[in-house]
Structure 1
Amino acid sequence: MHWPKPLSRMLKNTLSKSIQYSAEILHSRILYSNDNPYLDSIFAPQRQEHFSTQLMVEGQIPAELDGALMRIGPNPILVKNPRNYHWFTGDGMIHALRLKGGKAHWYKSSYVGVASVQKKLHRPLIPGKTRGVADAVNTNVINFAGKIWALVEAGAYPVEVNSKLESERHHLFKNEEDLPFTAHPHVDPETGDIHAVCYDALSQNKVFYLHIDSHGKLKHQVEFPVKHGPMIHDCAITKSQVLILDLNVNFSVRSALKGSMLPYQWNPKRQARIGVLPFGGKVTDMRWYEIDPCFIFHTVNAYDLNTGDIVMDAVVHSKALIRSIQGPIEDQDIRLERFIFEQGTGKVTRTVLSNIKQEFPRINEAFIGRQYRYL
């Protein structure tokens, strides 16, 4: 059923507010430890933004490195109830280290200036339209189309950030479309184009594939139907195709009503599948491969074989986001796997490459979508 846009928007807003209100009411009723590992030790938030030019260096910095090394992560300004804080929902903070001529020139940390952050810090709102059920932008920072972007999944627009780490504007690059984006797009090293698989937490029945050219203009989009509101944190690309991960962590109203600020939960009953869509293809060109239940936060890489088959390497969780409302602390059997998708038969072969528990895999990005050797 298709609702008129104003009514559809109103229903989404009502659903969002209802879930948030119900979660807040039930916070005090949750029987959960006050200890939260995502507010302690290496996860403990910085209490303020920093800038320093007095940096101590151990060892030697290669003189060839010239640029800013950046990372982003959740850094909550205020946590009212630690037992209900979820790692994925904290206010975003970007950290940057400027390297040049074998020296570390400065370090700076700065909050991503979304509305909730600016209000807490009593700062003016940044321009640009906003969208999504929540505004925390805290998951990835990339350099694309000559600009720096802070990213998150589930609906919010990217935030453009300048070289001083000042947030400048919310927008979907050079586009006016009302579309969600993702925390983990992939840039084709030959074309500079970006490929993204995006979902909106308020629309559990559809997901978008976006192909954006190297200048930031939307080149192609495909909307395809899904069930159960899957969390799709990452995707993978080859030279010619995109892989969509429709797996076993799904939107859960029950989780929201229990007080979770991130209402996604392990769902072993649904059929896990991975879709393959050619660049420029239509929804009818999608090929789905069914696999055993699992979840993938991060892929490593994917590439085409001469046979027409596809290889994808990824860090696989046999179960994820099971019960905890604080983060993936209970995730089980995390391993590095290789998937081979046979084009002719529709068969998927899975091979464990390493049983060492791991996450956040990285490769040389010049080999994205290409056969590679080092991880």
Structure 2
Amino acid sequence: MTDTTFPPAEKSAAKAPLRAPFSADVGNSYLIGPYGPVLEEVTAFDLPVTGEVPAGLVGRFVRNGPNPIEVSDPANHHWFLGEGMVHGVYLRSGKAEWYRNRFVRSRLVCDRLGAPYPAGKPRTNVDVVNTHIQSFGGRTLALVESGPPAMALTHELETIGYEDFAGTLDGAFAAHPHLDPLTGEWHAVTYDLGVKSELRHVVIGTDGKVNRSVAIPVSDGPMVHDFAMTQRYILIFDLPVVWNDAAAARGHLFPYQWSETHPARVGLLPRKGAAEDVIWIDVPPCYVFHTANAYDAADGTVVVDLVEFSSMFNTALNGPGEGPPVLSRWVLDPGSASIAKTALSRRPQEFPRIDERLTGQKHRYIYGAGIQTDRGSAMCFDTETGLELAHDFGPGRFGSECVFVPKSDTAKEGEGWVMTYVWNAPTNTSDLVIIDAQDFAGPPKAVVKLPVRVPFGFHGSWIAD
């Protein structure tokens, strides 16, 4: 249907009405406009649709991001801080049945909403979970890095409790675990803000328990947001954004900053290897938030496609803002411990994703979020031909991370749907946009109109029923 009139939306009742935790003239762009928090939890049914929701899509398109409920120092607030809020649209039978947004119930959120605390116990005094949401073993899990535990959620995105994988996880988890589609194992590279001397490679088995945890010695406490893996190696990015003691002493709540003295390197950890088996390869100074994928080449090298920045948190300290993000290919040679770098695209973009049935194997297509000043776009890069396509959202419309969903279990790579949330600046609302990957630059297959804005945030997933 094309009608944009919504039935009445349900809103949660709070202990007291939530108010913006800062004034409108705060001077921090990560607290206002499209980044500003949404303070009401909304449930809306029978969402208006322009176009046609593919009948084969049965499940939830969900996303997580920071949504501050309390800000102690607005001028120094960092985008990566703030309570988690998950957003989701449920699709079934060619319809958009519901939209929900829910705070991930940290103890602070529970205090503000007058709600009970999550089940279980947090492992640290910080339990903000604001970065990703994935499904593993039939469970919906909100995720974050640096120490706080993952949170288990219901199908309707309500918080259940802290997740410790049946008591087998004895440390931090990660915001970017990757599922190996060939083994069914869930891999993560983790770090804990209280431990500056090591990273860990953690593997969750198909039984939902940790079956491998390998400590990798490092120095300075590097921030490792993502990693990549092949069938032979786990790729560990030890890059020059590290814990800054002086910034922490000054009261910065996010004291990770650029270091001119921390060497940039990538480690190749054999899948079953120990810390001493890591092959370290020096790379030019840069920072990488996100990898698209990696795979083993026939000549013994390792190919990884990623987005790189020339520096990070060096002069811009409230969020990413230094240099254009470049989609690049790195070829790592474990024999000579050398790297060859190629820029795949010069169009600024971030949040690269692939058809995740190919994680750790050779891929062809990379989907990303284009970054422009007056409009946004979804991007598709063909690594075989070098052809790059853009799906233009139009003036004043800005997209976020794209997620590829195959049309069927047997569909070929590239045969599927690309889904993303798009913010409409003129109306300050958002849409769920579904693109046919085989007609990428063409009109969207469907646009689901949401009753509220989805703030610019981080990561999400398609979770099929």
* TM-based fold match above 0.5: yes
Partner of 2:88: 96
CA deviations over 1:100-119 (Å, ceiling 9, x no partner): 11110000011111222212
Aligned residues: 342
Separation in structure 1 between the aligned mates of residue 139 and residue 343 of structure 2, nearest angstrom: 38
Say yes or no: does 1:117 pair with 2:109. Answer: yes
Match status 1:362 vs 2:353? yes
**AA partner of residue 360 (structure 2):** G
Q: Which residue of 2 aligns with 1:47?
A: 39
Task: Please say if 1:63 is aligned against 2:55.
Answer: yes
Aligned partner letter, 2:64: I
In structure 1, C-alpha distance between the alignment counterparts of 2:73 and 2:341, rounded to whole Å = 41
**Residue in 2 aligned with 1:75?**
67
- 1:333 and 2:333 correspond: no
Q: Is the 8 A contact 1:132 1:202 kept in 2?
A: no
Which of 345-354 and 35-44 deviates more?
35-44
- Structure with bigger helix share is 1
Distance 1:208 1:370 in 2: 23
Q: How does 1:167-186 map to 2 (within 5 A)?
A: 167-186=159-178
Deviation at 1:133, TM superposition (A): 5.5
Partner deviation per Cα, 1:334-357 (whole Å, 9 max, x = no partner): 201111111221111111111211
In structure 1, what residue type is equivalent to 2:137? A
Q: Give the Cα separation in 2 of the matches to 1:310 and 1:67.
A: 35
Q: Alpha carbons of 1:256 and 1:133: their partners in 2 closer, same or farther (altered >3 Å)?
A: farther
Match among 297, 305, 314 for residue 297 of structure 2: 305
- SS across alignment from 1:159: strand
Look up the SS of the partner of 2:365 in the other structure: coil
Deviation readout 1:145-192 (Å, 9 max, x if unpaired): 110000000011111111121111112222333211110011001111
3-state SS in 1 of match to 2:80: helix
Q: What amino acid sits opposite 2:240 in the alignment?
A: N
Matches of 2:207 and 2:111 in 1, distance apart?
Answer: 32
Gaps of 5+ in 2: 1-24, 367-465
Q: Following the alignment from structure 1 to structure 2, what is the Cα–Cα distance between the partners of residues 196 and 177?
A: 12
**Which SS does the other structure have where 2:37 is aligned?**
coil
- Matched to 1:371, the amino acid is K
Cα distance in 1 for residues equivalent to 2:35 and 2:260 = 29
**What is the CA deviation profile of residues 235-290 of structure 1, one whole-angstrom value per residue up to 9, with x for unaligned ones?**
00112321001001000112223332111001122110100111121111111001
2:318 corresponds to 1:323: no
CA–CA distance in 2 between the matches of 1:266 and 1:121?
Answer: 37
1:175–1:216 Cα contact (<8 Å) kept? no
Could you tell me how far apart the structure 2 residues matched to 1:177 and 1:96 are?
Answer: 28
Local SS of the residue matching 2:304: strand
Q: Mark the CA change 1:235 to 1:249 in structure 2 (over 3 Å): closer, same or farther.
A: same
Judge conservation of contact 1:261–1:325 (CA < 8 Å) in 2: no
- The reply to whether residue 251 of structure 1 matches residue 224 of structure 2 is no
Taking a change above 3 Å as real, the CA distance of residues 133 and 332 of structure 1, as seen in their structure-2 partners, is farther
Instruction: Please name the residue that 2:338 is paired with.
Output: 347
Q: Unaligned stretches of 5+ in structure 1? A: 1-32
1:146-161 superposed matches below 5 A: 146-161=138-153
SS in 2 for 1:94: strand
1:126 partner SS: coil
- Cα distance in 1, alignment partners of residues 353 and 323 from structure 2: 21
**Which of 127, 140, 153 matches 1:135?**
127
Please state if 1:284 is matched with 2:276. Answer: yes
Correspondences of 1:16-31 after superposition (within 5 Å): none
Please say if residues 152 and 158 of structure 1, whose CA atoms lie closer than 8 Å, have aligned partners that are also in contact.
yes
C-alpha distance in 1, partners of 2:187/2:118? 27
Return the letter of the residue paired with 2:244.
Answer: S
Percent identity, aligned pairs only? 39
Amino acid at match of 2:359: I
Aligned to 2:180: 188
Per-residue Cα deviation, 1:77-116 (whole angstroms, up to 9, x for no partner)? 2334321221111100011100011110000011111222
Do structure 1's residue 238 and structure 2's residue 238 form an aligned pair? no
Q: Which residue of 2 aligns with 1:19?
A: none
Mapped contact 1:132–1:180 kept (Cα < 8 A): no
Structure 2 counterpart of 1:14: none
SS in 2 for 1:299: strand
Kindly indicate whether the alpha-carbon contact (under 8 Å) linking 2:46 and 2:95 is maintained by their aligned counterparts in 1: no
Larger relative contact order (CA 8 Å, sep ≥ 6): 2
2:99 corresponding residue in structure 1: 107
Shift of 1:38: 1.1
Give the number of the structure whose residues are more often strand, by fraction: 2
Asked if the contact 1:260–1:325 (Cα under 8 Å) also holds between the matched residues in 2, the reply is no
Aligned Cα RMSD in Å?
A: 1.4
Asked if 2 retains the 8 angstrom alpha-carbon contact of 1:132 and 1:154, the reply is no
Contact residue 266 and residue 322 of structure 1 kept, 8 A: yes
Q: Write the letter of the residue equivalent to 1:35.
A: G
SS of the equivalent of 1:62 reads: coil
How far 1:315 sits from its partner (Å)? 0.3
Counterpart in the other structure of 1:314? 306
Question: Could you list the runs of 4 or more consecutive aligned residues of structure 1 that deviate by over 3 angstroms after TM superposition?
Answer: none
Task: Find the residue that maps to 2:353 and give its secondary structure.
Answer: coil
TM-score by length of 2: 0.71
